[in-house]
Amino acid sequence: MPVGGLVPRAVDDAADVIVRNAKIYTGDSSRPHAGALAIRDGRVTVVGDDAEVAPFVGPATTVVDALGRRVVPGLNDAHLHVIRGGLNYVLELRWDGVTSLRQALAMLREQAARTPKGQWVRVVGGWSAEQFAERRLPTPAELNAAAPDTPVFVLHLYQSAILNRAALRAVGYTRDTPDPKGGQIVRGRNGEPNGMLLAAPSALILYSTLAKAPLLEGEDRKTSTRYFLRELNRFGLTSAIDAAGGFQNFPDNYGTVTELARDGLLSLRIAYHLFPQTPGQELDDLRRWIEMVRPEDGDEWLRLNGAGENLTWAAADFENFAEPRPELSGDYETDFEKAVRLLMAHGWGFRLHATYDETIRRDLAVFEKLAAEGLFPAGNRWLFDHAETVSRDSLDRIAALGGAMSVQNRMSFQGEAFTRRYGSGAAAEAPPVRAMLERGLTVGAGTDATRVSSYNPWVALHWLISGRTIGGLAIRPPQNRVDRETALAMYTRAGAALTGEEDVKGVLRPGFFGDLAVLSDDYFTVPEQEIPHIESLLTVVGGRIVHAAADYEGLDEELPPISPVWSPVAHFGGYQRTGLPGVRQAELLGQAVAESELHRQWRVRRGLAPETASTPFDPCFVL
């Protein structure tokens, strides 16, 4: 936008983008605060005040007046299933942020009416029953009423899925369909499936059922991924570490992001992992991939970061806190050790899904055996993901082996279930974030979206700071919470360290990537309960404006029309804005009344209004 006093100059080192009149938190301890910065060729060139950036305004420079708003380094989700999420995003009805089941069912009913024959309505994670005013799940009967003819699949955490009759017909589940291992098809008195699927405790029944739904093809996959990345940009995300996951095959399911990266169309930096998909075939997959690619292949937009989050299926526990902790096989270490040896010998780091300390201790014993032989970690980055019940002793062992941690706010969606099963004492330490930090471990933060938690990073930051679930339950005491600056560092600098990019990403410093977000509210001063409502008004990645709203609307890059045209995203968008909490609305109303009275007094003093005060209340409410 044009800014008075800043006159374009024909200079050779003109900036591409300048942000001025801002409250910039840089994350750089040598200069934590600034008022302006300049970006050229994708990198920050100047951090200072308005006067220091003024000489770098050229005829083609985009000058952004932040209007005194808070600016932070771009956020980096350290555990996000971004590749899989992008391939399906425009097909999904998102209940993220919806505050009542009544509203959620109304959205579902409306979407079913516009969904063509042969397609499904699918709600795939990002919500919990605890966020609804009704505090319950929808029933199969409610799905049948909302969509009598269109298949409906609703995924709830790693716990369950609800299907209507049309979806049961579409997937072919009948009274004769056997329960898969680790899962249950709930049946009525007549023996027919009633629409409920339970993870008991494996979520594979949920994901294998979802995999029967129609998929996008070709250009629609690219469009879907671009809209998902724009949705992430909406919340200030500029980077993510893709944790791979089930039903994400390499190289097939990585083709879309690879093509977008080749064409310069990614708006989010992605470091990805490779996850063996077939039990019993994991070592063959890893050997094949080692011949195809190497860690850090790619560029600053798309790069391989290693293996995981599973190396072998037998070593993976499941995180359905509505069910008892799964007992893993007594000999999984044999193949697990072979996988780790293979990776270490070829310079591959990895990340490892491990929910429970029982699993972590067994994995650590394998690492310590290899370390005694001088084979681990062999200079490779490695980390544990999740670790809700990791012990202090295990953290000491992780630190001794040079490991790192990545934690997600799964407990803000599953905290009530965890508390019911394990008690409030265990929930208070799930996971022990402060204990991790006290040991000097790098601790990245993320969401584990999209099939459990929402992808909204501010919900995760709120959980780190407040210790509260999205249902409002306080499960983590102050001694296991972190302050706002620490939480932001976990979402910026720590994520960069997990991909070996700490020298170029995560802070706003000359020479670092020009990745930043201009926020709707000041993260450092906004009331704690309003942190989840923060969004980015302007997101910049490498000097490109990839998201723009409010005063900046229209500055971002244009996207192609959403396809298919009946997409839920085309009508409802993604994360649902919930507005201000009722208490905060009341506070603002009170402020408005007070300001109105001050304005009346100002007019009286100047003879512009009569002395008699008018009531600020509607006379209809006077008794």
* Residue 400 is assigned to a structural domain of this protein: yes
For the four alpha carbons of 431, 437, 441 and 443, in that order, the dihedral sign comes to positive
Q: Examine the fold and report which residue of 473, 503, 533 is the final residue of a domain before the chain moves on.
A: 503
* Residue 133 is assigned to a structural domain of this protein: yes
368 and 487 housed in the same domain? yes
Averaged pLDDT in 10-residue chunks for the chain of 623 residues:
61 93 97 98 98 95 97 98 97 97 98 97 96 97 98 96 98 96 95 96 93 95 98 98 91 95 98 95 97 95 97 92 91 97 98 97 98 97 98 98 98 96 97 98 97 96 97 96 98 98 98 98 98 98 98 96 97 82 42 54 68 44 34
119 and 188 housed in the same domain? yes
CA–CA dist 518, 520 (Å, integer): 7
Can you name the residues that pair with 273 across neighbouring β-strands?
Answer: 306
The pair of structure tokens assigned to 121 is 């309505």
How many distinct structural domains can be found in the chain? 3
Pairing of β 544-548 and β 302-307:
unpaired
Give the side-chain half-sphere CA count within 13 A for 33.
Answer: 7
Q: Examine the fold and report which residue of 191, 211, 231 is the final residue of a domain before the chain moves on.
A: 211
Give 219-286 as a DSSP string: HHHHHHHHHHHHHHHTTTEEEEEE---TT--TTGGGHHHHHHHHTT--SSEEEEEE---STT-HHHHH
Of 348, 459, 372, give the one whose Cα is nearest residue 408: 459
* Calculated CA dihedral for residues 338, 343, 344, 346, nearest 10 degrees: 130
Contact 97, 262 (CB under 8 A): no
H-type alpha helices, 346-479: 357-372, 392-400, 410-422, 424-427, 433-438, 457-466
The pair of structure tokens assigned to 444 is 């990245």
* Residue 179 is assigned to a structural domain of this protein: yes
* Residue 557 is assigned to a structural domain of this protein: no
CATH code of residue 173: 3.10.310.70
* Residue 555 is assigned to a structural domain of this protein: no
Q: Phi and psi (nearest 5°) for 386?
A: 80, -85
Can you name the residues that pair with 172 across neighbouring β-strands?
Answer: none
248 and 203 housed in the same domain? no
Pairing of β 516-519 and β 43-48:
unpaired
* Residue 109 is assigned to a structural domain of this protein: yes
CATH code of residue 405: 3.20.20.140
CA–CA dist 279, 276 (Å, integer): 8
CA angle, residues 99, 103, 104, in degrees to nearest 5: 85
How far the first Cα of the chain sits from its last, in Å, is 52
* Residue 526 is assigned to a structural domain of this protein: no
Contact 477, 432 (CB under 8 A): no
206 and 254 housed in the same domain? no
Instruction: Using a cut of 0.85, tell me whether the model's pTM lies above it.
Output: yes
193 and 94 housed in the same domain? yes
Give the side-chain half-sphere CA count within 13 A for 125.
Answer: 25
287 and 419 housed in the same domain? yes
How far is residue 498 from each of residues 112, 383, 571, measured CA to CA in Å?
42, 8, 37
* Residue 134 is assigned to a structural domain of this protein: yes
132 and 265 housed in the same domain? no
Tell me which residue range forms the domain holding 601. Answer: 592-622
249 and 202 housed in the same domain? no
How far is residue 607 from each of residues 214, 299, 300, 600, 610, measured CA to CA in Å?
71, 68, 64, 11, 7
162 and 253 housed in the same domain? no
119 and 258 housed in the same domain? no
224 and 135 housed in the same domain? no
Edge to edge, the sheet with strand 17-20 lists 43-48, 36-40, 17-20, 62-65
Q: Examine the fold and report which residue of 503, 526, 561 is the final residue of a domain before the chain moves on.
A: 503
* Amino acid 385: pLDDT: 98
* Amino acid 269: pLDDT: 98
207 and 226 housed in the same domain? no
Percent helix, strand and coil across the chain, each to the nearest 5 = 35, 20, 45
The pair of structure tokens assigned to 286 is 């890893």
3-state secondary structure of 353: strand
* Amino acid 230: pLDDT: 98
